[in-house]
């Protein structure tokens, strides 16, 4: 039995990735594309396989953030992000989720604003819809990231925000 050519269910009920999914994850990683170009299922599988320093470096390039800014929004120490051993060792699942979540916000923002520089500037401007806070200030937890995504969505639909 298979589902969408991406997983196989063994007799024991264990779900295994197909070679097709493994190849897609590897190919996208080699192209340095953001993880958000994966489907939700593929993101879950990538998270299980591991988020590595190379994924963090892609996020850093994608957002233009410094390590200090990344450590703030990802709620980890700068040393954790800079640790050279992380190149071969995966980050924790919760940190991996935050990395993917931040990439999702930036992908959505770039698409809605149509200009990376405009969106990056917007992230550091106080916003009345966020109680006068800058979107960047509230990215350090899931609730804040959700609010920023909702706000970008409202902007996409032309709702005054």
Segment 78-94, tens digit of pLDDT: 999 988 666 667 899 99
Tokens of 103: 């990439």
pLDDT: is 150 or 26 the higher one?
150
Q: At what angle do helices 53-63 and 93-113 cross, to 10 degrees?
A: 30
- How confident is the model at residue 45, as a pLDDT? 87
Residue 14 has pLDDT above 70, yes or no: no
- How confident is the model at residue 95, as a pLDDT? 94
> Any idea what DSSP says for residue 5?
T
Domain ranges of the chain: 41-156
Question: What are the CA-CA distances from residue 93 to residues 49, 118, 146 (Å)?
Answer: 10, 31, 19
Residue 12 has pLDDT above 60, yes or no: no
- How confident is the model at residue 13, as a pLDDT? 47
Within the chain, strands assigned E span 2-3, 7-9, 15-17
- How confident is the model at residue 2, as a pLDDT? 39
pTM over 0.85: no
Residue 49 has pLDDT above 50, yes or no: yes
Position 30 confidence tier, pLDDT thresholds 50, 70, 90: low
User: Cα–Cα distance between 38 and 25 in angstroms, integer?
Assistant: 8
Tokens of 155: 């902007």
> Any idea what DSSP says for residue 124?
T
Tokens of 76: 């980890």
pLDDT tens per residue across span 96-146: 999 999 999 999 999 999 999 999 999 999 999 999 999 999 999 999 999
Position 39 confidence tier, pLDDT thresholds 50, 70, 90: confident
């Amino acid at each position: 039995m298979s589902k969408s050519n991406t997983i196989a269910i063994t007799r024991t009920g264990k779900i295994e990735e197909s070679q097709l999914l493994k190849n897609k994850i590897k190919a996208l990683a080699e192209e340095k594309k953001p993880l958000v170009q994966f489907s939700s299922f593929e993101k879950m599988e990538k998270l299980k396989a591991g988020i590595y320093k190379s994924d963090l470096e892609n996020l850093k390039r994608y957002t233009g953030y410094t390590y200090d800014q990344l450590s703030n929004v990802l709620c980890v120490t700068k040393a954790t992000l800079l640790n050279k051993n992380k190149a071969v060792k995966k980050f924790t699942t919760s940190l991996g989720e935050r990395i993917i979540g931040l990439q999702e916000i930036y992908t959505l923002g770039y698409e809605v604003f149509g200009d990376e520089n405009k969106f990056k500037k917007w992230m550091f401007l106080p916003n009345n819809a966020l109680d006068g806070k800058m979107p960047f200030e509230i990215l350090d937890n899931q609730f804040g990231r959700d609010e920023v995504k909702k706000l970008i969505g409202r902007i996409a639909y032309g709702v005054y925000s």
